[in-house]
Amino acid sequence: MSDIDYKKEIEAIKARNKRVETDKAWETSWTRRLCIMVLTYAIVVLYRASIAQVSNVFLSSLVPVMGFWLSTLSLKLIRKIWEKRR
């Protein structure tokens, strides 16, 4: 391998390491945790407001799952903002 190949490989490794560090920081950040909690709570509130009584355990059990799923869809935008401010 030439020096140029080694330099390119080193730069690629550095870029990958930076992405991995950012991913680790995001996964443990309070911003992420808070967003998941707020979004899940909002989904539960909207769901509870739309039903009179909870009679179907299986249906009501979907609430946390749907809250989590919806939060994963919206966290990409929040993560981009978080990364810029980090």
Domain of residue 34: give its range: 3-85
Query: According to the model, what pLDDT value does residue 52 have?
Result: 63
Between 57 and 1, residue with greater pLDDT: 1
Please compute the mean of the pLDDT values over residues 26-35 and round it to a whole number.
Answer: 86
- Quote the tokens at residue 55: 């009679």
Q: Which residue bears the tokens 């020096």?
A: 3
* Number of domains the chain is built from: 1
At residue 60, the 3 state secondary structure works out as helix
- Quote the tokens at residue 2: 């030439």
Q: Answer for the pair 21, 15: CB distance below 8 angstroms, yes or no.
A: no
Residue 55 has pLDDT above 70, yes or no: no
